[in-house]
Amino acid sequence: MKWVTAWIAAWTILLLSSTGLSQEDNEEAEVEIVSQLDGWLANCEALTSFDLLLTEETFELTPSGQSKEAICKRRMIADFVSRRFLFVGSRVFETGNSTDTPMTVNTYYHAFCYDPSKDPSAWQRDLPRRPQKLVPKDMWKSLGSSEFYDIRYIGLLPELRTYSSDGTFEESFRTMFNFGKTIWERNATSAVTEICVDVPVKGVEGFLTRCAIVYDLENFVPLKRTTTMVHTKWIRDVSKESYVWEEFNGVRLPVQVHGEKSKAEKIDGKNVSFVAQYDYRLDWRSVNQGFPSGIEASPQTLQDTEKLLQMLEPAQSP
């Protein structure tokens, strides 16, 4: 690929200035890193269709005693070849404090569909309202404005991410490891390595953001990801994620994700730090088998409230 060649050229200068190794040694290191990343990208792009039920649980307890819990279920069905997409999701939020006051519970449902062979526009529905036709736009922009997440970003970026507006995952992947960033390795063994990406913070000398990815050299997938703010006088973790992967039809896909992210609450004029946690469970019902028969990505499907709710329950899903 042309962009692989560009990576090698760009990293030569970065690694020579940061490691002090000879140019020949750096060239070997660069080729190895690019090869590893190319394997990761190839695994992501091998996913052409899927039917997935994703359950997300989040929890945080603030220093002031405010408790927040949420359970989100998302059924995501996608076929990148035929460009058909169907999504239904639910969120249940519980908020309260550390006293005996009852928790406040809020529930929200959302659905989305797109099938260009039948309609150039996407449709969405916020239950219990009726389905609404969206203004005609590019498919990827429609997906990007919905809650239909791009699972391929797991491990590349923290938390769940929507589809890029141009629909090119390779471009987004390349941007993560692109020019102006210092890419290097540490703690390498025969089984895993740790790929670090340093991004200077503009306008602040001696301050950068570091993404460190523990990478499985055999399966070409990330095992852990840590984002850290690095200053000349201190280091602070911003977020952490760990991943469990399984193989489905020749594609390595995440089945469990555990994450933590640093947050802050202002108390008496001072920011007090705390950690929020989240877990994802991914139930892959089909992989690379096309769009499931018996299900349509149509506004008629969005109108069927009972069917939408059943899709969120694995035992009753069609």
DSSP 220-254: TEEEEEEEEEEESS-EEEEEEEEEEEEEETTEEEE
Angle at 123 between CA 289 and CA 44, to 5 degrees: 35
CB 146 within 8 A of CB 87: yes
Distance set, CA 171 to CA 168, 175, 178, 232, 254 (Å) = 5, 6, 10, 32, 21
The count of other CB atoms within 10 Å of the CB of residue 145 is: 16
Q: Is residue 195 a contact partner of residue 36, using CB atoms and an 8 Å limit?
A: yes
Within 13 Å, how many C-alpha atoms sit on residue 310's CB side?
A: 10
CA distance 188 to 185: 7
Surface-to-core class of residue 143, CB atoms within 10 Å of its CB (0-12 exposed, 13-18 middle, 19+ buried): buried
CB 194, CB 212: distance < 8 Å: yes
Considering Cα of 244, then 248, then 253, then 257, what sign does the dihedral take?
negative
- CB burial of 231-270 (b: ≥16 within 10 Å; e: otherwise) equals eeeeeeebbbbbbebeebeebbbbeebebbbeeeeeeeee
- Say what the pTM is: 0.84
Distance CA 178, CA 160 (A): 21
Per-residue pLDDT for the chain (318 aa), expressed as one digit of tens each?
444 444 433 433 344 334 445 555 555 665 567 677 889 999 999 999 999 999 999 999 888 888 889 999 999 999 999 999 999 999 998 887 766 666 678 899 999 999 988 888 889 999 889 998 887 666 677 777 777 889 999 998 888 887 776 657 888 888 877 756 777 888 888 899 999 888 888 878 888 999 999 999 999 999 999 999 998 888 898 999 999 999 999 999 999 999 999 998 888 888 888 999 999 999 999 999 999 988 899 999 999 999 999 999 875 445
Q: Are 289 and 61 in contact (CB under 8 A)?
A: no
Q: Is 92 exposed, middle or buried (0-12, 13-18, 19+ CB in 10 A)?
A: middle
